[in-house]
């Protein structure tokens, strides 16, 4: 919780817009705190984001989306120089398959001009295939957007947050806002745990909950219509396009795109599925099939067997107008909104943050921060360094020469360095997103136990207290092994197929292991992976793991065949649904799942 209870400014939400606002507010001599309901920055829409820095050709002219998109995108090159995050201009192509869609391309070109966006051109089929030979032969033309870019959304938010923290902004996590009351001095903000803070000004950047925060103080009510977007991520080495490839947009949105993540992996998505929940990011079989089928229109050679993960995110769409809601709230002096921020929110964020900070500073008559430093020195990541810099680092600290995650080629030194930055690591996924651990093809099947042990030692906590992502999503159970478990022999460059490759729908609950991973977890941490463990699969490793689990004190449910249909549980595994070979479905209550059904023949390593 915050060290102070009285602040000049409270920012609610640490997504990319909140972090932009915090960084801009750190330019002023203000006591500022950012309140985040999750255990890390960028827990909501920012994390499951396509990472595309749109140029502004798509929003309707005259909207806030159009204005902020163009202004925000123009700020990225300078921000990258100051904050050192992954960003580059790779260009985009909006691909048409019919004369009607070609007409829409010309309308988009006119819209770009009206919005003041960088120049775009309509190219014919021959020019399109010259730019991207792998595009569908059915495509007839495209809108070429050369200034479109990609960035790492999490890395961008982290860079902003670290720079803000280094310049005096406080961050409080697991700090969900329960109520806001106007007072003579500003606002009293009460958290779910009862903590109360006083603020002269409040900035609402609460993402999918920004309407609820606004509605606590204003008679002008907002309503967000949440939409879930699902994605497939492909393994490294699968590369179809350099440009970001879009279909022609419809009233439902930009459509299923084929993109490249900032560090190289190809991905497809998202769809746009209306739902009531603002927090449910479980994937569905229907949605994942839809994403793959529609992506094939642009990418005929898309291969499902090369997918290593799927995931989903929530978009905070304005149910009334579809536009952003940004600015001072008329009937709530000192309260400033950045609400209903969906696409192109990432590209717009720098401009939104700058305006929010400017309005707050004017309202509070704030003086400049005399010690503000716009530059940030990032944590060391070896794959971004040249050979000499790597060798220097290894000589200074040998842990940088000790690999801890083979697929992603991450060392123990990088993990340790990430644990001791200005924004704390409070959950495993914070470390994952900051270093790249577990993001390779085995998806952490072999390295999680060792990383967990390093985290526990460096942070001075027990492994059973480290959550995967949110409070309650513990990676291991709170029960110690009844006997000491020996570290199993390291497998020969093969590994068990991870859950993510099975394309099993559901939330990404903690408590899913490979047999090798479960044995390593017990050996390295001394804790059971779960108290009631379902061991599924026909490999010998599964039988060996089941026997060791029973010896260590776990209750084991052994299922050798069938198909895992669904994993239930938002935080930890609560149940697993398995279809037997005869089609009979059985739901097994458990708090951990061991999957050991198929071995893959190699582990590709991310090169330098």
54 is catalytic: yes
User: Of the residues 54, 144, 232, 243, which is catalytic?
Assistant: 54
Determine contact, residues 227/315, Cβ cutoff 8 Å: yes
Phi, psi of 204 (to 5 degrees): -95, 105
Find residue 588's DSSP bridge partners: 576
Rounded Cα–Cα distance for residues 261 and 234 (Å): 10
Determine contact, residues 90/243, Cβ cutoff 8 Å: yes
End-to-end CA distance of the chain: 40
* 3-class DSSP assignment, residue 236: coil
Determine contact, residues 32/8, Cβ cutoff 8 Å: yes
- How big is the CA angle at 437 (ends 18 and 418), to the nearest 5 degrees? 55
In which element (H, E) is residue 543 found?
helix 540-552
How is residue 137 annotated by DSSP?
T
CB neighbourhood size of 542 (10 A)? 23
Of residues 481, 500, 374, the one with CA closest to residue 432: 500
Encode 557-574: b = buried (16+ Cβ within 10 Å), e = exposed.
bbbeebebbbbbbbbbbb
CB-based contacts of 266, cutoff 8 Å, min separation 6 = 233, 234, 238, 239, 240, 241, 258, 259, 260
Encode 336-366: b = buried (16+ Cβ within 10 Å), e = exposed.
bbbbbbbbbbbbbbbbbbbbbbebbbebbeb
Residues labelled catalytic = 54
């Amino acid at each position: 919780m915050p060290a102070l209870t009285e602040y000049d400014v409270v920012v609610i939400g640490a997504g990319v817009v909140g972090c932009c606002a915090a960084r801009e507010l750190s330019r002023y001599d203000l006591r500022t705190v950012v309140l985040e309901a999750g255990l890390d920055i960028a827990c909501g829409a920012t994390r499951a984001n396509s990472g595309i820095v749109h140029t502004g050709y798509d929003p309707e002219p005259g909207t806030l989306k159009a204005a902020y998109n163009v202004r925000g995108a123009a700020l990225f090159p300078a921000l990258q120089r100051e904050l050192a995050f992954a960003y580059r201009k790779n260009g985009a192509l909006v691909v048409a398959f019919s004369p009607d869609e070609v007409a829409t391309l010309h309308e988009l070109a006119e819209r770009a001009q009206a919005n003041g966006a960088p120049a775009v051109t309509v190219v014919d089929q021959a020019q399109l295939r010259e730019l991207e030979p792998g595009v569908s032969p059915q495509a007839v033309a495209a809108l070429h957007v050369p200034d479109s870019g990609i960035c790492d959304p999490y890395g961008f938010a982290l860079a902003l947050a670290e720079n803000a923290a280094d310049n005096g902004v406080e961050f409080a996590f697991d700090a969900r806002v329960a109520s806001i009351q106007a007072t003579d001095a500003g606002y009293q903000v009460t958290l779910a745990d009862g903590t109360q803070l006083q603020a002269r000004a409040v900035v609402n950047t609460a993402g999918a909950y920004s309407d609820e925060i606004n509605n606590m103080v204003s008679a002008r009510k907002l309503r967000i219509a949440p939409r879930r977007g699902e994605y497939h991520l492909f393994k490294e080495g699968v590369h179809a396009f350099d440009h970001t490839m879009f279909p022609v947009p419809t009233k439902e949105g930009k459509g299923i795109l084929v993109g490249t993540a900032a560090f190289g992996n190809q991905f497809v998505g998202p769809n746009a599925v209306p739902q009531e929940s603002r927090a449910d990011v479980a994937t569905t079989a229907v949605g994942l099939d839809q994403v793959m089928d529609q992506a094939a229109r642009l990418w005929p050679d898309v291969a499902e067997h090369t997918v290593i993960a799927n995931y989903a995110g929530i978009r905070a769409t304005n149910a009334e107008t579809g536009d952003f809601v940004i600015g001072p709230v008329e009937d709530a002096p000192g309260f400033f909104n950045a609400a209903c921020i969906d696409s192109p929110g990432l590209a717009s964020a720098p401009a939104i943050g700058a305006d929010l900070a400017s309005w707050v500073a004017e309202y509070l008559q704030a003086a400049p921060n005399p010690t503000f430093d716009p530059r940030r020195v990032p944590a060391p990541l070896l794959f971004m360094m040249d050979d000499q810099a790597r060798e220097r680092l290894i000589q200074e600290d040998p842990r940088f020469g000790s690999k801890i995650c083979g697929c992603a080629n991450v060392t123990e030194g990088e993990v340790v360095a990430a644990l001791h930055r200005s924004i704390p690591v409070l959950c495993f996924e914070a470390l994952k997103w900051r270093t790249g651990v577990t993001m390779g093809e085995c998806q952490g099947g072999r390295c999680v136990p060792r990383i967990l042990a390093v985290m526990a030692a460096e942070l001075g906590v027990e492994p059973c207290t480290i959550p995967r992502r949110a409070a309650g999503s513990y990676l291991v159970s709170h029960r110690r092994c009844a006997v000491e478990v020996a570290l199993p022999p390291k497998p020969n460059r093969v590994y068990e197929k991870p859950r993510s490759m099975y394309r099993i729908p559901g939330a990404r609950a903690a408590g899913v292991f490979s047999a090798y991973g479960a044995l390593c977890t017990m050996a390295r941490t001394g804790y059971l992976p779960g108290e009631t463990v379902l061991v599924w699969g026909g490999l010998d490793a599964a039988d060996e793991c089941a026997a060791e689990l029973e010896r260590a004190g776990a209750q084991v449910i052994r299922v050798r065949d069938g198909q895992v249909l669904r994993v239930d549980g938002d935080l930890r595994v609560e149940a697993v649904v398995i279809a037997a070979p005869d089609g009979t479905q059985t739901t097994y209550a458990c708090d951990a799942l061991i999957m050991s059904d198929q071995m893959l023949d190699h582990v590709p390593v991310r090169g330098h």
